[in-house]
Amino acid sequence: MSGERDFLVEIGTEELPPKALPALAAAFTAGLSAGLEKAGLKHGAVRSFATPRRLALLVKHLAAQQPEQTLKRRGPPLSAAFDGVKSRFLVISFSSDWLYPSYQSLDIVRALRGRNCDVAYCDLPSTYGHDAFLVNVSEQAELVRGFLASTFRERS
C-alpha cells in the first residue's frame, strides 16, 4: 500500500460505566470499520482502546485516499423535473444535515431558477445533524408563514 498512514481517532466522553467499555469499544470499532469499508479505504488492523473517559481506535496503514471512481448518472437532468411548473417554491435546508446537505438543496434551487421558476431559499443554522425536526420550529414556521403570505398577496 502506498500513501498510507496510521490513523488515531479519539472520543472524549463523560464517565462511561466500566462494564460497558468492551461493548462500546466493539461497537465503535465495528462502525468505523464498516464506514472505511463502505468508503473503499484500504487499511490494516484496527485496535481499540477504552477508558471511562475516552474511546479510541488506531487504524494501521490507512490509505490516504479512496480509489478513483467513475460515477454514472442515469436519467434526465434535475431541471427536467420542473418543466412547465408555474408554482412558487420555498426550499429550506439545515446547515448540519448530513443526509440531505445544503449543497443538494442549492442544486434544486439552481435547477428551478434555470427554468425561471420563482424560488426562495434559506439555509437554517443547526447543530442537530439530520434531525432537522429538532430545529426551533418557530424559525421554520416564520419562514413558511412569510412565504405563504407573500404568495397570497401576489395571487390576490
In this prediction, residue 152 has a pLDDT band, given cuts at 50, 70 and 90, of confident
Check whether residue 91 and residue 141 sit in a common domain: yes
Domain of residue 127 covers 79-155
Check whether residue 53 and residue 84 sit in a common domain: no
* Strand blocks (E) in the chain: 4-12, 46-51, 54-63, 88-94, 118-124
Residue 117 lies in a domain: yes
pLDDT for residue 156 is more than 80:
no
Check whether residue 84 and residue 145 sit in a common domain: yes
Check whether residue 39 and residue 85 sit in a common domain: no
In the chain, DSSP finds a helix count (H) and a strand count (E) of 3, 5
User: How many domains is the chain partitioned into structurally?
Assistant: 2
What mean pLDDT is reported for the chain?
A: 89
Residue 85 lies in a domain: yes
Residue 70 lies in a domain: no
Distance CA(11)–CA(28), nearest Å, equals 10
Residue 73 lies in a domain: no
Distance CA(4)–CA(58), nearest Å, equals 13
Q: What CATH number has the domain bearing residue 100?
A: 3.40.50
Check whether residue 92 and residue 130 sit in a common domain: yes
Check whether residue 47 and residue 89 sit in a common domain: no
Question: pLDDT for 22-36, tens place per residue?
Answer: 999 999 999 999 999
Whether this prediction's pTM lies above 0.95 is answered by: no
Check whether residue 58 and residue 85 sit in a common domain: no
Q: Find where cell 490516504 sits.
A: 64
Check whether residue 47 and residue 94 sit in a common domain: no
120 Cβ contact list (under 8 Å, min separation 6): 88, 89, 90, 91, 147
Residue 71 lies in a domain: no
Left (φ > 0), alpha (ψ -120 to 50) or beta: where does 87 sit?
beta
Residue 72 lies in a domain: no
pLDDT for residue 102 is more than 80:
yes
Residue 141 lies in a domain: yes
